[in-house]
Structure 1
Amino acid sequence: MSFALRIKTKAGQEVLRNLTPEHTVKDLKTQLSSISKIPRDRLHILSGYPPKPLDLTQDSLSLSKSGIKSGDTLILEEKAPPPKEVTYKSHISDFGANSSGILMKKVVPADNSCLFGSIYFALNGKIDDSGTAAPYMRQVIAQTVANDPETFSEAILGKPNDEYCTWIQDDKSWGGAIELAILSNHYGFEIAVVDTINAIINRFGEDQHYTLRIFLLFDGIHYDPLFLESADGNNIQTIFPTDDEKVLRQAEELAREANASRQFTDVNKFTLKCMNCNIYLNGQLQAREHAQTTGHMNFGEV
């Protein structure tokens, strides 16, 4: 028994008739790739109204069990080539564990992707000039969330799973605790976030007992990576053994000093002023919405 599928591509549409319910998802993708000239691993397949992406990751699944029915319309799009995966250079042995140096902040661009830019710097010891790190990390997060809807429920995400996956891949969306936890697990590093609002360190991945740790500084709106600079200024270290208690104490002291000198923007408790356009804003939600709409990231307390 064969069934017909209406296939829509940028070039037009046609009907695919040479498959049966016993054929596999892999067989379908092979046929769709041939029709559209899109590589199989770059196929983005949508169906329904409004069109939604189909999860066709299980190549061995029969079409009868895939949810696709005869008469369905499949819309084919081509995914952008995946950005090159972030790799890291080892900055661990520059000084040696528990060695002396000054913990400092590296300022990354305030472009709505400061969390991802900070992690890239911590893993690589340099700014991501290519601009590929943030899209890659956003894609990793979206795939992780989509593949585990039970863990990443609407109650956890604050929005439906599929809506979140679309939202996080928007370059105007900000990352936070959920994204930090996922990226910690993805890279196999503990991520220690120095929170200058509360003068504490939040350690993501601590329960996984990773052997390596990176540090980020968070001021209520913006993330920056921390690095240890050698006394002579010739070397930096961005990745640390998790048993390096000396640098952890430095980070704790940095949190206390930043808090005492009010080097933070508590957007939950204070009226804010956009220093770019002089608009007054109330609370975190308005600040985020204004930043996403205008690209302005320089806020001051009033």
Structure 2
Amino acid sequence: MKFQLNFGHVPGIPVGATFKLYKEMNDVGVHRSTMGGISGSGKFGADSIVISGGYEDDQDMGNVIVYTGQGGRNDAGKHVRDQEFIRGNLALAINQKEGLPVRVIRGKDPKNSFAPDEGYRYDGLYRVESHWHEVGKSGFTVWRYRLEKLEATVELYDSSSSPAPLTGGNQAPERKSTTVQRIVRDTKRSKELKKHYDYQCQVCNLRITTASGSYAEAAHIRPLGAPHDGPDTPNNILCLCPNHHVMFDLGAFSIQDDLTLIGIDGVLFVKSGHQVAQEYLKYHRDHYLDRVKNS
């Protein structure tokens, strides 16, 4: 990579700033890629993306964007092969894993009511809430990313090709406004399910006990919200420890219809009174299971 990644707002460039050409964005550091829609590295993450109607599977809902990864198209812009989980596609997944913000730039697109009439516009920071793979409109596998807009300030920091030594520190750190990017939904049904399992993980049986009580997390098998539109019902929810929740969301393991685990050893424990819908298990396998790791 010939440039250094900068995650967060670019000093001096306000949200809403407009640009006529890619080169103008390159010059001020809002988007460093000279042509591609994803500016990033498969090692460090992506610091910015451009959405401008180039991919037919994109969905722009304003504060939520379902973004299609890169690759798989010919010179005419037609999908002719499956997208690979490399480069920018891998970079955006790293953003989700590491909690890194990504700058979103919208380009002119007559089909998108959120796009500018001309050129490009910087529309602020988004977090990568989830990523998955599916067969796109052209019949080829595409990688997709649900992006959610961040309202709080995220401080700018640089990536480095080599990690800094773990020395120094700050005995009196300054307080700054930041954003915790991993959100754990806790709906009424989720709370009821966790109580049903007495806060024990259905994968490893771990119950985390704290001074304020037991702790577990509710994992929706088919996610809530567009484009998945999974239901907030007990048959679509699992009670998991934080480790297995993250692993499940990132596709490190999935679950067969007979409740045996794929990717790790074991069988999902299901307590009497809780039915897990096979259609949602299949949805998770088809969209989230890391098929490279589990092949």
| Structure of greater Rg | 1
Please indicate, yes or no, whether the TM-score normalized by the shorter chain is above 0.5: no
Q: Which has the higher helix share?
A: 1
User: Structure 1 length normalisation: TM-score?
Assistant: 0.29
